[in-house]
Amino acid sequence: MDLSEQLITDLARMVAIPSIGALDEHAGDVSASAQLIATMLSEVGCPDVRVIDGPCAPAVIGRFPAPDGAPTICLYSHHDVQPIGDLSDWVHPPLEITQVGDRLFGRGAADDKGGVAVHLATLRAFEGRPPVGITVFIEGEEEIGSPHSAQFIADNADLIRADAYIIMDAGTWAVGEPAFTTTLRGVCDAIIEVETLDHALHSGQFGGVAPDALTSLCRLLATMHTDDGDVAVEGLRTSVSFDIDYSTQSVRESAGILDGVRELGTGSIADRLWAKPSLTVIGLDTVPVAESSNTLLPTARARVSVRVPPGMRAAEALDALVAHCEAHAPWGAHVRVIRGSVGNPGQIPVDGPLVAAGRSAWEEGFGVAPVLVGQGGAIPLVGELHAAFPHAEFLVTGIADPDARMHAPNESVSLSDLIRTVRSQIGFLEAAARL
């Protein structure tokens, strides 16, 4: 079986399991996914494979001992995925791998079971005898913010300690053009509850005098952005910027922004995606349109997610959001903010001999030098690993190109980029052994 066939086969086995960490009814699938990956690691010759369950969702650790004098490299990905959503939005079955030209479609193909497939293919190339020590760490709760990462690292430090970490959970600059991530935005969220009445009211009898909770909530949410779409929450600050940029048209096309709809924010596209905060209403509890009536609602609530810029702590950002809500309660409405999860942003050094070897290996594997980029999403584990192992080097890269549609219907990955990434990673491990 050649490399492309093997990648497709491995990916198909993993994608078939809906390991959706955010939904309790899929807890068994997350466990089954971990067990499958443990089996696959054993199949490629890993002599020490463990599934670790608790307090985190099931994670997999596989270890190859280092030859004398050789460094140990940790290969990271995650096996949990986002919910599938409405099946009617998918062109191809989400739990099957469907190849269309160079694209492989399926939930988790790009985020991040494709990353696991890259690690498996890399190890398979060495026939169970890699030239350096290898620790494979496949997390099971990245998509819910890695809430137990600090505890997991503390409990398993001796198993996952390494000289360098390849975090295969970011993206490429474009198909055929690799990237290494130098900054990560963090993330935090909160539920905002608004209460204005002690019971529901007839809108004709009291409308115009009694403020309803949903309108009050909408008014509060509207204070969180300027007219240009910049985040207006005081205290969310930006401390980095980037010299490279995307074209507006390419981002509009990748995002599917409709004709006539303006992009949010000011400044370069790259800074808006990687360096500045963003704020999104990701959930709303109210009466469905089909069940609505002419009623003033006494309570309403929304869930808000903030992407935290590098240079801040996620807890600071959450404090700023709470303070904003309390200061902008419309018409004296009672506002309560329920704090949610936090994941810190990160700034990743790209110096050091192992990182230099990685950049050279990826340049050889792709035929073009990696672009140094930021990452709009959070990988909370990176900051936790850096805090626990401050002398380690980090290569944060990935397989998701701008057309991958991670977290959305019709997620896909470039097969050519999977192959290039495997070859790059093989070259890096060989170079690390020489160091």
Catalytic residues: 80, 142
Spatial neighbors of 39 by CB under 8 A, at least 6 apart, are none
Cβ contact 137:79 at 8 Å: no
Tokens 């269309």: give the residue. Answer: 100
Tally Cβ neighbours within 10 Å of residue 257: 14
> Which residue has 């709470």 as its token pair?
322
Contacts of 197 (CB under 8 A, 6+ apart): 210, 211, 212, 213, 296, 297, 298
With residues binned 3-state (H G I as helix, E B as strand, rest as coil), the percentages for the chain, rounded to 5, are: 35, 25, 40
Sheet holding 103-105, edge to edge: 98-100, 103-105, 412-414
Neighbours of 250 (CB within 10 A): 12
What's the CA gap between 44 and 258, in Å, rounded? 46
The crossing angle, in degrees rounded to 10, of helices 415-434 and 353-366 is: 140
- Residue 112 preceded by cis peptide, ω within 30: yes
User: How many CB atoms are closer than 10 A to CB 225?
Assistant: 16
Q: Which residues are 375's β-sheet partners?
A: 184
Instruction: Decide: 348 and 154 in contact? Cβ < 8 Å.
Output: no
323 and 286 Cβ atoms separated by less than 8 Å? no
**Torsion angle of C-alpha atoms 121, 47, 127, 176, degrees rounded to 10:** 20
Q: Which residue is it, tokens 């994670």?
A: 59
Residue 119 identity = H
